[in-house]
Structure 1
């Protein structure tokens, strides 16, 4: 979901009315009429100042949407009784006001051709879900989400965000954030400064090469963890011991060479995805603890297909804590 989705939330739901002096302040601050575009527009952060587009023919000849008032790069459509986002908004629009209308749905294409649309720094504090996928975010600054006490869900996938781009205090004061997805980014390791009360963490499709001992020390409440489609080879002994409530772990499509130590000690773990790795051997105690009473919930699924393991050499007792005969998935390994 692209930037315009949460921009639309801001425009439709903000409690403060956008007065004329606020527009003038914005125009003065950003010098919309005179600024030249920067040479590098890739370093967008979570609280960006949008670069101003160069003058185009669209600035001189455009059709203002019905019931809207248009100035150069500013389109005001507030209090217009609109039931949908206006069509043919000038491409060079920087500021779009859609407050106090009757719009009930934002379509995928509504803001598709508005590359210069301004992203406000002060998002409503009442936001519960925030999705800013597929942008150019490289950095999340200190206290970027300050005051967002109701924020539960954050998706920030498809951005060139590296682990070092998340500042240590970026999530200070965010107490209810339980779901974070940072997929298809440039993470090279597990971020250690995300909110401690996370329930679900998705870091798939990154460049993480190893799991270190301290990576999950902070995230003791996690029950779903997705590390699939990375480059993970090594998982340090003891690194999973900090996840006592884990129910599901995705490690498929990596380069893992053996069943991670500590898997068998996770009492509530139900689903383990290990397919398409480099596991060549399964030991009898890799998944199940020696004392059956330690395991509180039986496995409902373990996927091992796409590994160079010879399943006929595995002892049946290796899966003694799996709930049913179809709980383990094997397949032909093809190099």
Structure 2
């Protein structure tokens, strides 16, 4: 009998537990123990300021600003009615989303220590002021979104690492010469819907920069800026007050591939001006005051899309779009729009569109007075 009892005791002592508690369960257990101690449990064997499990202490848990959601080095604090930048953003954060709040100012130390910050979203706030040293430690910041605020100027001393800056719909009237100094990595600049006129861009403001995409739509430009970066691949100037395209306008932008000039007041495209952008693939000239198809389109070997609808074009010539037989076009047209023009489309010769991909690529007719 004694031998049987000994065997049973040995079996119980060597038996494995039924489950291993996860870290989440350990955390819950720690919280319960802490609550018990706060209720005055003097018999507790654990001191109040020490964690239950020494391998998972509280001070290793990542901090997160109140009301925000934090995960994978991303801090989401949008739509919370915040009036200032949260003070306890984890130092290893790579993206901070603060859009749709009521933040009016960014102070000097608001982002201090966020050396890993990659993207900062501040769209749709009430920003009027950004301290010149606010981005002093964010040396890895690549994307900065400041659209839909009340900034009267582009912030000074922005990180030299910026690749994308969006400051759409603010109150910027001027681009100073020192604004983008040293920002050689900036590739995308979106600053539409600002009261910027043609005299608001100081000479040399973009000197030495390598920018591929610039959009200054819905502004007050009366002419095409001539001192933008020569590296441009896309230039969008829609919804301005530009009245003419001059011969000198595109001489600086030899590599331009997309050009947006829709919804302006353009009545004339000077002969030879389009020859300066031989690599262009897409041109938007819709909703202007053109009376004829711009000269030089047939010389653009890579042009695939040309929008000319809603103008005052009355005639389309047989060689307006396609080169003569002795010349070759590298890319066929995929879209030519001529609708809402007073052109007699039944008089247009079929050979006019001999370099078009298919008949579905051409849109004619539908003119309404």
Q: Same fold (TM over 0.5)?
A: yes
Q: Give the Cα separation in 1 of the matches to 2:337 and 2:101.
A: 50
Distance 1:320 1:103 in 2: 53
1:97 aligns with 2:106: no
The yes-or-no answer on 1:321 pairing with 2:355 is yes
Query: With CA pairs under 8 Å and 6+ residues apart, which has the higher RCO, 1 or 2?
Result: 1
In structure 1, the partner of 2:218 is 184
Q: Could you tell me which of 137, 160, 165 is aligned with 2:195? A: 160
1:16-165 equivalent positions in 2, closer than 5 A: 77-79=87-89, 93=105, 95=107, 97-100=110-113, 112=125, 114-118=126-130, 120=132, 121-165=156-200
3-state SS, counterpart of residue 272 of structure 1:
strand
What residue is the counterpart of 1:233 in the other structure?
A: 267
How far is the alpha carbon of 1:197 from its aligned partner?
Answer: 1.1
| Post-superposition offset of 1:92 | 5.8
Check 1:86–1:210 CA distance in 2 against 1; reply closer, same or farther (3 A cut). Answer: closer
Give the deviation of 1:288 after TM superposition.
1.1
State how far apart, in whole Å, the 2-side matches of 1:186 and 1:269 are: 28
Superposed, 1:284-299 pairs within 5 Å as 284-291=318-325, 293-299=327-333
Q: Give 1:87 deviation, angstroms.
A: 11
Structure 1 residue 108: Cα displacement:
6.7
Q: CA 1:329–1:191 in structure 2 vs 1: closer, same or farther (change >3 Å)?
A: same
Match in the other structure for 1:281 = 315
1:208 aligns with 2:242: yes
Structure 2: stretches of 5+ with no match in the other structure: 1-64, 68-82, 133-155
- SS where residue 138 of structure 1 aligns? coil
CA distances 1:166-215 after superposition (whole Å, capped 9, x unpaired): 111001121x2111000000000000000011001000010000001111
1:320 and 1:115, CA in 2 relative to 1: closer, same or farther beyond 3 A? same
Does residue 250 (structure 1) correspond to residue 277 (structure 2)? The answer is: no
Question: In 2, Cα distance between the equivalents of 1:85 and 1:134?
Answer: 19
The aligned counterpart of 1:42 is none
User: Any idea what the Cα deviations from partners look like across 1:284-309, whole Å, max 9, x if unmatched?
Assistant: 11111222533221111100011011
Q: Which has the larger radius of gyration?
A: 2
Unaligned runs of 5+ in 1: 1-64, 68-72
Rounded to whole Å, the distance in 1 between the matches of 2:338 and 2:111 is 51
SS in 1 for 2:365: coil
Alignment partners' CA distance in 1, 2:90 and 2:338: 58
SS in 1 for 2:351: helix
- Aligned residues of 1:145 and 1:170 also touching (Cα < 8 A): yes
How far apart, CA to CA, are the structure 2 residues paired with 1:86 and 1:200? 29
- The 1:289/1:84 distance shift into structure 2, 3 A limit, reads closer
| Contact 1:226-1:250 at 8 Å conserved across structures | yes
Give the TM-score taking structure 1 as reference length: 0.71
Cα 1:150–1:186 shift into 2, 3 Å: same
Change (3 A) 1:97 1:233: same
Q: CA deviation at 1:225?
A: 0.5
CA RMSD, aligned part only?
A: 2.9
| d(CA) in 1 for partners of 2:303, 2:96 | 46
Residue 309 of structure 1 aligns to a residue whose secondary structure is: coil
Farther off after superposition, 143-152 or 240-249? 143-152
CA contact (8 A) 1:201 1:222 kept: yes
CA contact (8 A) 1:306 1:333 kept: yes
Q: Is this contact kept in 1: 2:84–2:102, CA < 8 A?
A: no
User: What is the TM-score normalised by the length of structure 2?
Assistant: 0.65
Q: Is the 8 A contact 1:227 1:251 kept in 2?
A: yes
The alpha-carbon distance between structure 1 residues 254 and 74, as it changes in their structure 2 partners (threshold 3 A), is closer
